[in-house]
């Protein structure tokens, strides 16, 4: 039995799969004050529904927004930074680029800590890791005592110059802290982000230290509570790279948990893309608070790369391997409001889980996307939502009253404008991961998930000209399903200085490959995994000499050893052409960092294909307003639709966790594995 638990901002989703392929799903409101409460109570409820006990669960996987919430809300620990003498101001100088080019009053992002929290130590290494200025133990002890006692640090980030090439000095300071002040958490840049670029590495290390204690405490509570429930194993925690690691390993990689929940949905999307022979998809995960968009090419999600698809939080870089997810504040709880110029906008403010949209009758007074979809007929007021929530259209109309008066609109007209604004915002996010990266979205299938994803799918696909939608089974709890199919995965990097590609021999490349492989094998063995079954994939961050940023080029060491280093150079030229529409075949290339992704594959889930033997029958009809037209949509229950079932819109497909309105011009076809493919005839 496998259980996946994903804690979102509004709802906590659960999925349970047994060895016969039986699948149970559950959804309950999240508990923002302590997300582990909803996680554990939801697990207890889904086990009770299935007549099982926690002791029978063989694997338990968990994804959470706890790291993201702690950082965005700036509820971190009192953090100090220890750095090389002369580099105290790296966090404050930052970079010269501006995120808003035309803002005359632009201010650089505010760091998580102040200058008074940065402490220097007299040491120095060169770019190759050779010691220029050694440290003395007395200096370290004096500094540690000052940081702990006088400053009162609860967590310490250590980021020394060129520590990625030689971590000896960082490790020495950490050892003395562990001896003298074991109560203080320590984050080392050589562990968190062992690669060049001082500002990005320092920022990432400080982020890890800042949110580390809070996330660490959460993981401890979660582990204890599932243990009290009767679970006997070690929980696996979802990482931002789309893989999971055991709980203790996750505690050592706090910065890697930032998009833990959204990454799980992308992992599931990649799995469905492969299973349906649809290798190129764009996943759109719409929950109660946000919309997360990711590009998947050849069945593999894109990952962040500095300069092309980097990741930052409130403008602060987070330099770890992450699923390349573009997130905007557009979800079911997004609040409609007028800006200072009187224009109607939706989000990024959200009603969240508490108090929620007005129609939930939990005290919310703002008009949200959920209220708009209820008035448009996309949601059924006779069906209760998870948490025993009854939707009330009258409260939605009350919440719309002020906006309606200001804009001279009827409630339904306001609702349609709110819906269209959200679609336009989501379309912009979709173009950022496709058009802005050299891809045509019309060459991809849209894969909607999350509780609100299917509700906007057809409108969003039409907005950007996408001709096809792939609707997975149980899309409303898709992140939880992604947890259940995620491999155990850890990423490694070796950054020991730039080397020109034409001077890099196959023997030197093999030396780097073997070093990464040994590092991965040792850690997986420590975690209790058989290293023989590890799947290892390699890449190199490379650039033309003189360029500021790199491209990540995948390679097979055996192919390079057989065909020569020219194959690696050719692959870089091809990738550069795809990204920028040109290449410089005669220009020197330099390799910056070598990377390894190590995976311990988890067994494939048994097939779970539900559906009736006979063609599904409509269960009445519902009046829905879309694109200025009000039409009658026949209602079909998804669990009753067998493989091969086909129908043209307008229809609405309802299921336990969401609904999918299919307007005229779209055709539905149920695939053999239970997924639904929607194709658009009116292009």
Residue 148 located in a structural domain: yes
Do residues 206 and 193 both lie within one domain?
Answer: yes
Indicate the residue among 155, 188, 214 that finishes a domain: 214
Tell me, yes or no, if the pTM score tops 0.95.
no
Interval 37-49: pLDDT, tens: 999 999 999 999 9
Tell me the C-alpha distance between 264 and 287, whole Å.
13
**Do 103 and 204 fall into the same domain?**
yes
In a domain, 559, yes or no: yes
Could you tell me if 186 and 213 are in contact, meaning their C-beta atoms sit under 8 angstroms apart? no
Tens of pLDDT, residues 287-329: 888 899 999 998 889 888 766 556 777 788 888 888 888 888 8
How many separate domains does the chain show?
Answer: 4
Range(s) of the domain holding residue 143: 79-214
Q: How confident is the model at residue 599 (pLDDT cuts 50, 70, 90)?
A: very high
Domain presence at residue 538: yes
Q: Say yes or no to pLDDT of 609 above 50.
A: no
Residue 292 lies in a domain: no
For residue 87, give both structure tokens: 């580099």
Question: In this structure, are 170 and 66 located in the same domain?
Answer: no
Mean pLDDT of the chain: 90
Residues 582 and 659 in one domain: no
pLDDT at 627: 84
Judgement on whether residues 565 and 505 belong to the same structural domain of the protein: yes
65-74, 78-87, 657-666, 667-676: segment of lowest average pLDDT: 65-74
The reply to whether 180 falls in a domain is: yes
Among 16-25, 75-84, 269-278, which stretch is predicted with the lowest mean pLDDT? 16-25
Residue 614 pLDDT: 54
pLDDT of residue 605: 67
Mean pLDDT score, 74-85: 94
Same domain, 84 and 203: yes
What is the rounded average pLDDT of the residues 511-536?
92
Angle between helix 137-145 and 168-180 (nearest 10)? 50
Report yes or no on 435 lying in a domain: no
Same domain, 534 and 567: yes
Q: Across 174-178, 435-439, 475-479, 501-505, which has the greatest mean pLDDT?
A: 174-178
What is the structure's pLDDT at 351?
86
CATH code of residue 520: 3.30.1490
Average pLDDT estimate for 20-24: 77
- Residue-wise pLDDT tens digits, 125-134: 998 899 999 9
Is residue 222 included in any domain, yes or no?
yes
Q: Which pLDDT band, with edges at 50, 70 and 90, does 217 fall under?
A: very high
pLDDT in the model for residue 346: 93
Label residue 437 by pLDDT band (50, 70, 90).
confident
Count other Cβ atoms within 10 Å, centred on residue 248.
14
Tens digits of residue pLDDT in 620-639: 999 999 888 899 999 999 98
Residue that finishes a domain, picked among 214, 242, 265: 214
Based on the domain organization, do 542 and 638 belong to the same domain?
A: no
- Are 125 and 207 within one domain? yes
**What's the pLDDT score for residue 327?**
85
Query: 567 burial class (0-12, 13-18, 19+ CB within 10 angstroms)?
Result: middle
Q: Which residues of 29-60 are buried (b: 16+ CB within 10 A; e: fewer)?
A: bbbbeebbbbbbebbbebbeebebebeebebb
- pLDDT (0 to 100) of residue 510: 93
Would the pLDDT of 532 be above 90? Answer: no
Look at residue 310 in the predicted model and tell me its pLDDT.
Answer: 63
Domain identity same for 639 and 585? no
Rounded to a whole number of angstroms, the distance between the first and last alpha carbons of the chain is: 44
Q: Are 332 and 451 in contact (CB under 8 A)?
A: yes
Residue 397 lies in a domain: no
User: Cis omega before residue 309 (within 30°)?
Assistant: no
Residue 511 reports pLDDT greater than 50: yes
Q: Which residues contact 2 (CB under 8 A, 6 or more apart)?
A: 16, 17, 57, 58, 59, 60, 61, 484, 605
Mean pLDDT of 112-137: 95
Same-domain status, 596 and 634:
no
pLDDT, residue 60, reads 94
Q: Residue 487: which of 533, 552, 526, 448 has the closest Cα?
A: 533
For residues 231 and 196, state if they share a domain.
no
Of the residues 203, 233, 257, which one is the last residue of a structural domain? 257
More confident site: 385 or 465: 465
Are the beta carbons of 161 and 84 closer than 8 angstroms? yes
Residue pair 566/573 in contact by the 8 Å Cβ criterion: no
């Amino acid at each position: 039995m496998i259980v996946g638990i994903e804690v979102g901002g509004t709802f906590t989703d659960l999925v349970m799969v047994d060895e016969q392929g039986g699948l149970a799903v559950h959804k309950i409101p999240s508990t923002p004050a302590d997300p582990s409460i909803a996680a554990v109570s939801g697990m207890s409820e889904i086990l009770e529904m299935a007549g099982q006990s926690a002791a029978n669960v063989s694997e338990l996987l968990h994804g959470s927004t706890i790291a993201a919430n702690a950082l965005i809300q700036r509820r971190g620990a009192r953090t100090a930074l220890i750095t090389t003498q002369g580099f105290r101001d790296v966090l404050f100088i930052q970079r010269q680029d501006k995120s808003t080019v035309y803002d005359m009053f632009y201010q650089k992002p505010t760091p998580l800590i102040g200058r008074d929290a940065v402490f220097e130590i007299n040491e120095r290494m060169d770019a190759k890791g050779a010691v220029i200025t050694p440290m003395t133990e007395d200096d370290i002890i004096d500094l540690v005592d000052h940081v702990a006692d006088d400053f009162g640090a609860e967590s310490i980030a250590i980021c020394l110059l060129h520590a990625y090439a030689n971590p000896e000095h960082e490790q020495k300071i950490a050892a003395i802290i562990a001896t003298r002040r074991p109560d203080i958490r320590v984050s080392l840049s050589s562990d968190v982000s062992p690669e060049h670029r001082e500002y990005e590495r320092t920022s990432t290390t400080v982020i890890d230290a800042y949110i580390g204690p809070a996330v660490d405490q959460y993981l401890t509570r979660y582990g204890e509570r599932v243990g009290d429930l009767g679970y006997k194993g070690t929980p696996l925690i979802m990482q931002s790279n789309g893989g999971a690691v055991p709980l203790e390993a996750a505690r050592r990689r706090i910065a890697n948990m930032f998009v833990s929940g959204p990454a799980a949905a992308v992992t599931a999307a990649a799995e469905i893309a492969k299973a349906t022979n649809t290798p190129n998809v764009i996943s759109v995960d719409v929950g109660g608070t946000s919309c997360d968009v990711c590009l998947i090419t050849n069945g593999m999600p894109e990952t962040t790369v500095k300069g092309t698809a980097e990741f930052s939080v409130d403008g602060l870089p987070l330099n770890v391997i992450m699923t390349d997810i573009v997130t905007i504040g557009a979800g079911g709880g997004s609040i409609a409001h007028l800006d200072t110029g009187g224009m109607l906008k939706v989000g990024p403010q959200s009603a969240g889980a508490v108090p929620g949209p007005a129609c939930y009758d939990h005290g919310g007074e703002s008009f949200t996307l959920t209220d708009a979809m209820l008035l448009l007929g996309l949601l059924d007021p006779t069906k209760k939502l998870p948490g025993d929530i009854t939707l009330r259209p009258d409260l939605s109309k009350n919440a719309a009253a002020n906006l309606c008066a200001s804009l001279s609109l009827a409630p339904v007209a306001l609702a349609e404008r709110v819906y269209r604004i959200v679609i336009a915002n989501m379309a912009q996010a979709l173009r950022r991961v496709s058009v802005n990266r050299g891809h045509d979205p019309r060459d991809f299938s849209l894969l909607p998930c999350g509780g609100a994803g299917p509700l906007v799918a057809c409108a969003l696909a039409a907005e950007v000209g996408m001709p096809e939608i792939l609707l997975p089974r149980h899309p409303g709890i898709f992140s939880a399903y992604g947890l259940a199919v995620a491999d155990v995965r850890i990423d490694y990097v070796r950054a020991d200085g730039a080397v020109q590609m034409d001077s890099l021999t196959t023997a030197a490349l093999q030396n780097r490959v073997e070093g990464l492989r040994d590092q991965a094998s040792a850690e997986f063995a420590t975690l209790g995994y058989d290293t023989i079954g590890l799947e290892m994939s390699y890449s190199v961050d490379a650039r033309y000499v003189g360029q500021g940023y790199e491209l990540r080029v995948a390679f097979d060491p055996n192919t390079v050893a057989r065909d020569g280093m020219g194959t690696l150079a050719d692959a870089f030229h091809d990738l550069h052409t795809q990204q920028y529409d040109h290449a410089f075949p005669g220009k020197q290339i330099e390799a910056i960092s070598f990377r390894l992704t190590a995976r311990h594959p988890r067994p494939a889930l048994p097939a779970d294909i539900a559906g009736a033997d006979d063609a599904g029958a409509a269960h009445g009809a519902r009046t829905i307003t879309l694109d200025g037209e009000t039409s009658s949509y026949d209602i079909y229950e998804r669990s009753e639709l067998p493989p091969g079932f086909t129908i043209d819109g307008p229809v609405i497909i309802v299921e336990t966790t969401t609904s999918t309105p299919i307007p005229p011009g779209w055709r539905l076809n149920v695939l053999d594995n239970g997924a639904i493919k929607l194709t658009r005839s009116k292009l």
